[in-house]
Structure 1
Amino acid sequence: MHKFGSVVYRADRKSYRAKYTYHGEVITKTFKDRLSAQAWLNSERSRVEADKAGIQQWSSPAERKREETAIERRRTLFCDYVMDEFAPTWLNYAADGSELATGSKRKHREYLSHLSQAFFWKYPLTGITTEDINRWLADLDNFGGATPRKKTFQLLKAVYAKAVAEGAVPKSPVTMKAPAVPKSRQAQIPPATAEELQNIYAAMPKTTRIAVWLGAILDLRIGEVVSLQVQDWNSKTQTLRVCHSADANGGMKDTKTATSNTTQPVPPQLGKLIDEACNGKQPTDFIVTCADGTHITPNRLRDHFNEAKINAGRPDLHFHTLRATSITAAVNTGATLRDTMQWGRHADAQTSIERYQRASGSERMREIANGIEDTLMGHEPTVAELEAEIAATKKRLADLESQLDALRHQNK
């Protein structure tokens, strides 16, 4: 019988390498002893002979390993893959590797709980179909609301994205769009105007009124506002470090997300107010306090704000609306979507996109509508518009005359 393959001792590695060539492929495998290497080579020869005889098609060891892995994956249950391969990381860490805040971890556990109640939870990972997912999504009662439904769907989509990337499934059955979430009533509240903010500020107690500008200018959440300490303010660099939030009882905790933990630049007028609020205090004292200087809770500060907003004629406002007010003002100054994402400190880019579109959409559409009307219908100027245009023209004329005088003087 013709010799099949070879077994070579490799002194440098103190091992035996079995080797043979078939269909143009060089197949090798390393063993600790010659006997095992020869046994493997004999089994491979049997496969090659079976292929030549037309009994069983030959495939390389690497291809056989992939087939075995695929068969094993087909046996993997969806629940086992989620709990063993996906959940341990997803429950505790964000996409950038940073650890999730306590509140975010709690929400992730909630969404995982919703997913674990799906009827296909114990189906094979490769056996779940698009029809199964559509049937699961059709029952809103499974989730307790539109938002948990969307978040749980996004969790399912992420699970299958990982499974596809790892080769655990050939393709994802999650082919539909994420379920829509109706806009919350709070999201539809118009942002506060500058005059309204001034009125609210004036109506609040002296020790808490600065919170209005911390929310409306720096885009801070109420929990972040009550957690600001004197040591977080740097008067030399005019920056404010945002590194804590408040729990339900007013105690200190991490910010809502890792992206919320940042250092915000502070404009000059607000900087003076912060200086005044910090005057005479110790580094660990809080910037916003009760009237007696003690730590104020989010609920107590919210009470102050709610009373003042009624006096300002905006009973519909929430303290959180100040964040939308800040984004709107930023867009009106020319902030781009990228700027908005950074300023808003949103962990979810979609939140920034929605905020940006809300802030820029209505006013921009009005500008476009006014421009079209002026082009097609003409425009009858008002007295105020004419006076403003005359003043601008006079100023421009004065500038031109000044330049002309200077030029004549040089030519003399």
Structure 2
Amino acid sequence: MARRRGFGELERRTGPTGPSYRARYAMPDGSRHSRNFRTKMDAEAWLARERSLIDRDEWTPPKSRKVAEARREREQAISTVQKYAERYVAERGLRPTTVRGYEALLATRILPYFGAMPLRDVTLSEIKTWRRSLDPKTASSNAAAYRLLRSILQAAEEEELIDRAPPKIRGASSAPVKQEVIPATFDEITAIVDEMPERLKLLIVLAAFVGLREGELLELRRSDVDGVTGRINVARKVDKDANPAVRGACPECGRHISTPKTRSGIRTVHVPPPFLPMLQSHLLEHAAEGPRGLLFPGDRTDHMSARYLMDRYRPAREKAGRPDLTIHHLRHTALTIAGQHGATGAELQARAGHASQAAMAIYQHATLDRDKALAEKIGDTYAKWASNRSEQA
């Protein structure tokens, strides 16, 4: 039974867990507000606080106060750049390698300056001061750190934790190119292939003439390759330096296997015809057995390590006089060769597995038939070069 008081009323209730008290009151506008308590003392104290708020003209509906209080607690929990940045990285479903990269940028560049700073205090002026404090010798990492900081602040704006992210600083997201990549010549590629172990010669060819990434090459399997047509389906890659404990790790070797970053990374490309005998020989002699067998297995038929590859590639490129040429530069070489043989922008995008807004508008023109024809043109040029080289020798 409810018992009336000077302000509000109390009602004692009996339930499975024992007695409880319901405190309630009405406002002049007819709205009614109530709350349940375990003890009578707590219920009376609540009514007293509500009455005090009304007397001081500070009263707002209890439900709206509860929402505001929850938001204040949430803001307090992520009030600083460090707290919010940690949640930002943890909740976005990022790839393991991306998480590692972000954590490194936070630890070495962003948090030493902004870590304890409240989100709302990160202004354009503070960001400019921070950028001036960074080592100019690490321009690429500085630009990556700025992009990450801006993404964090934009996410905070979307969650209404800050009113507005500071304006973008023109040019801060990119770094000047330190050195232009010089594509390898046929002579240089041939010299490298000649110096590589038999089991790795095809890897260099696929990097330098087809344009596959290192991670894509190390995850290629027999079922991805047609030895007759030279057709290669690219659908997966090995993530270098990923934590082997994360979901998606290879059960045999522990390395993390994932799909390419974008839908365009999943693609079909063709090996130039002059290299089909090498591909077929490799499938017979060096690929692991079975449809799931790796094209370039390690010593135990599991994934080859990047270190194992580089220990053999490094002296080969030195012998060819190109100590600057990385595996990724071989991919750059492949795309340069494709461009020299008439590949359109869309065809280069398709062959490389890149995606951009501009490329997507014409992407439908890059068909498999055109990629095969492009591979044949590259093959014809290589065959003529090889024939002339043989005659001169």
1:265 to 260, 264, 268: 268
CA distance in 2: counterparts of 1:6 and 1:72, whole angstroms: 30
Hey, what does 1:61 align to over in structure 2?
Answer: 62
Show the counterpart of 2:193: 204
Q: Distance in 2 between matches of 1:246 and 1:286?
A: 18
CA distance in 1, matches of 2:208, 2:28: 72
The one-letter amino acid paired with 2:226 is S
Candidates 279, 304, 307, aligned match of 2:316: 304
Give the deviation of 1:109 after TM superposition. 2.0
Letter paired with 1:84 = K
Aligned to 1:152: 145
CA distance in 1, matches of 2:104, 2:169: 24
Question: What displacement does 1:277 show?
Answer: 0.8
Q: Does 1:43 align with 2:57?
A: no
Per-residue deviation at 1:30? 3.5
TM-score by length of 2: 0.60
Deviation at 1:216, TM superposition (A): 3.8
Whole-angstrom CA distance in 2 between matches of 1:27 and 1:323: 71
Q: State the partner residue of 2:83.
A: 84
Give 1:347-386 correspondences, 5 Å limit: none
Residues 280-335 of structure 1: CA distance to partner in whole angstroms, max 9, x if unpaired? 34335753899xxxx75224224334544x5xxx8875442333344553795445
* Correspondence for 1:279 among 281, 284, 293: 284
| Secondary structure in 2 matching 1:115 | helix
Taking the TM superposition and a 5 Å limit, the aligned residue runs for 1:202-351 are: 204-205=193-194, 207-222=199-214, 224-225=216-217, 227-228=218-219, 231=222, 233-235=224-226, 238-239=232-233, 242-244=236-238, 254=255, 259=260, 264-267=267-270, 269=273, 273-281=278-286, 282-283=288-289, 287=296, 297-305=309-317, 307-308=319-320, 310=321, 318-327=326-335, 329=338, 333-334=343-344, 336=346, 340=349, 344=352
Alignment RMSD:
4.9
Report which stretch shifted further, 155-164 or 200-209.
Answer: 200-209
Which residue type is aligned with residue 44 of structure 1?
A: E
Whether the 8 Å CA contact 1:20–1:28 is kept in 2: the answer is yes
Counting only pairs closer than 5 Å after superposition, residues 65-76 of structure 1 correspond to structure 2 as 65=66
Secondary structure of 1:168's counterpart equals: coil
* 1:37 shift after superposition: 4.2
- Alpha-carbon shift at residue 179 of structure 1 (Å): 1.2
Moved more, 81-90 or 131-140: 81-90
- Give the 3-state SS of the residue equivalent to 1:259 in structure 2: coil
Task: Report if aligned partners of 1:18, 1:41 keep a CA contact under 8 Å in 2.
Answer: yes
Letter in 1 for 2:36: F
Aligned equivalents of 2:30 and 2:122: distance in 1? 38
Give the match's secondary structure for 2:157.
helix
**Secondary structure of the corresponding residue to residue 33 of structure 2:** strand
Normalising to structure 1: TM-score of the pair? 0.58
- Relative to 1, partners in 2 of residues 1:224 and 1:144: Cα closer, same or farther, differing over 3 Å? same
**Cα pair 1:98 1:258 within 8 Å, conserved:** no
How far 1:279 moved relative to its partner?
A: 0.5
Q: For residue 139 of structure 1, what is the aligned residue in structure 2?
A: 133
Structure 1 contact 9–17 (Cα < 8 Å) conserved: yes
C-alpha distance in 1 between matches for 2:261 and 2:24: 58
Question: Displacement, 1:132?
Answer: 1.9
**Which structure has the larger Rg over C-alpha atoms?**
1
Structure 1: runs of 5 or more not aligned: 357-412
Q: 1:25 to 1:198 in 2, by over 3 A?
A: farther
After TM superposition, give the deviation of residue 278 of structure 1 in Å: 1.6
Higher relative contact order (CA 8 A, sep 6+): 2
